[in-house]
Amino acid sequence: MNTATQLPDPWSTPLEQIDVSDPRLYEQDTWRPYFERLRKEDPVHYQASSPFGPFWSVTRFEDIVAVDSNHAVFSSEPTILIGDLDDKIPTEMFIAMDPPKHDIQRRAVQPVVAPKNLADMELLIRSRVIEILDNLPLGETFNWVDEVSINLTTQMLATLFDFPFEQRHKLTYWSDIAAGTPEMAGGDVNDEERYTGLMDCLETFTRIWHERKGREGGFDLISLLQRDPNTADMVDRPMEFLGNIGLLIVGGNDTTRNSASGGVLALNENPGEYDKLRANPGLIPGMVSEIIRWQTPLAHMRRTAKQDIEFQGKQIKQGDKVVMWYISGNRDSSAIDNADQFIIDRANPRHHISFGFGIHRCMGNRLAEMQLRILWEEVMQRFSFVEVVGDPVRVKSNFVRGYSSLPVRLHR
Q: Could you give the CA distance from residue 344 to residue 47 in angstroms, rounded to a whole number? A: 35
- Measured over the CA atoms of residue 161, residue 187, residue 96 and residue 322, the dihedral's sign is positive
Cα atoms in the Cβ-side hemisphere of radius 13 Å centred on 181: 21
Q: Which is nearer to other proteins, 71 or 212 (CB)?
A: 71
Comparison of 19 and 220: residue with beta carbon closer to other proteins: 220
Kind of pairing, strands 142-143 and 407-411?
A: antiparallel
3-class secondary-structure state, position 408 = strand
Task: Give min distance, CB of 159 to other proteins, in A.
Answer: 18
How do strand 385-388 and strand 407-411 relate by DSSP bridges? Answer: antiparallel
Rg (alpha carbons) of the chain, rounded to whole number: 21
Taking the complex as a whole, how short is the minimal distance between the CB of residue 360 and other proteins, in angstroms?
9
The residue type of 340 is D
Please report, as ranges, the residues that interact with other proteins according to CB under 8 A. Answer: 65, 68-69, 71, 99, 103, 106-107, 110-111, 113-115, 118, 350-352, 355, 357-359, 361, 363, 365-366
Cβ of residue 335: shortest distance to other proteins, in angstroms?
8
**Residues 55, 320 contacting (CB under 8 angstroms):** yes
Kindly tell me which of 75 and 172 has the beta carbon lying closer to other proteins.
75
C-beta closer to other proteins: residue 126 or 170: 126
For the CB of residue 115, give the shortest distance to other proteins in the complex, in Å.
4
If the CB atoms of residues 13 and 69 are measured against other proteins, the closer one turns out to be 69
Q: Which is nearer to other proteins, 66 or 89 (CB)?
A: 66
Q: State the DSSP string of 291-331.
A: HHHHH-SB-EEEEEESS-EEETTEEEPTT-EEEEEHHHHTT
In this complex, which beta carbon is closest to other proteins, that of residue 113 or of residue 288?
113
Q: Which residues contact 340 (CB under 8 A, 6 or more apart)?
A: 32, 331, 333
Residues near 114 by Cβ (< 8 Å), separated by ≥ 6? none
Provide the minimum distance between the beta carbon of 59 and other proteins in the complex, in angstroms, as a whole number.
18
φ, ψ dihedrals at 160, nearest 5°: -60, -35
Minimum distance, C-beta of residue 110 to other proteins, in the bound complex (Å): 5
**Shortest Å distance, C-beta 351 to other proteins:** 6
User: Which one, of 298, 344, 357, 272, lies nearest residue 68 by Cα?
Assistant: 357
- Whether the bond between 23 and the residue before it is cis, its omega within 30 degrees of 0, is no
Nearest CB to other proteins, comparing residues 25 and 125: 125
CB of 242 to other proteins, least distance (A): 23
Length of the chain: 412
